[in-house]
């Protein structure tokens, strides 16, 4: 993918022992690697291992994980990925409380002086993208909304239009 990708490769390691795989994904061309804060026995060490490979480091919060779980690493990460569905499979419905979690995450990062971006993944579509952008999301992952329809390019344009209408600045490609 790295040879043909026109956007950064964002790798979300939704696994229980991410440290064992970080180097392999870096060698494969990852530009960003995020790991679940819930499974990290030594989060500082994992974040530093990612950064030492020249890759942006992120941590992930599952829907039931409180924002306070970020406090110890907020100043070290490049981004925080908020799961707005329970991890497991694509096409799930967006959990509405995620909008508040975005705001809480942005507030925590700002309070701690972190410049980390906020990313959202799960159930994003043209009906809720504006809300998550307004809440403080910087990076949006939209899988099913783009790839489960008949026209991925049109779906991407509709998402972009809805996000821009709520103040987003987009930099992820030509669409």
Q: Is the entire prediction scored with pTM above 0.75? A: yes
The CA distances from residue 55 to 2, 25, 76, in Å, are 14, 10, 13
pLDDT category at 168 given cuts 50, 70, 90 is low
Intra-chain end-to-end CA distance of the chain, in Å: 19
CA-based R_g, the chain, Å: 16
- Cα gap 70→46, rounded to integer Å: 14
Query: Which residue from 138, 118, 140 is spatially nearest to 60, judged by alpha carbons?
Result: 118
pLDDT tens digits, residue range 27-81?
A: 999 999 999 999 999 999 999 999 999 999 999 999 999 999 999 999 999 999 9
What SS3 state is found at 29? coil
Which tens digits make up the pLDDT trace of 114-149?
A: 999 999 999 999 999 999 999 999 999 998 999 898
């Amino acid at each position: 993918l790295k040879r043909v990708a026109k956007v950064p490769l964002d790798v979300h390691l939704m696994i229980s022992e991410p440290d064992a795989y970080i180097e392999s994904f870096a060698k494969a061309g990852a530009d960003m690697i995020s790991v679940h804060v819930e499974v990290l026995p030594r989060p500082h060490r994992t974040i530093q291992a990612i950064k030492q490979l020249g890759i942006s480091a992120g941590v992930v919060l599952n829907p039931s994980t409180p924002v306070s779980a970020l406090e110890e690493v907020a100043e070290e990460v490049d981004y925080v990925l908020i799961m707005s569905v329970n991890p497991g499979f694509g096409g799930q419905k967006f959990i509405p409380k995620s909008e508040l979690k975005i705001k809480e995450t942005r507030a925590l990062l700002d309070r701690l002086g972190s410049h980390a971006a906020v990313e959202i993944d799960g159930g994003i579509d043209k009906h809720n993208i504006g809300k998550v952008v307004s809440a403080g999301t910087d990076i949006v992952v939209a899988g099913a909304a783009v790839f489960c329809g008949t026209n991925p390019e049109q779906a991407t344009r509709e998402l972009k239009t809805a996000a821009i209408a709520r103040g987003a600045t987009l930099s992820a490609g030509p669409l």
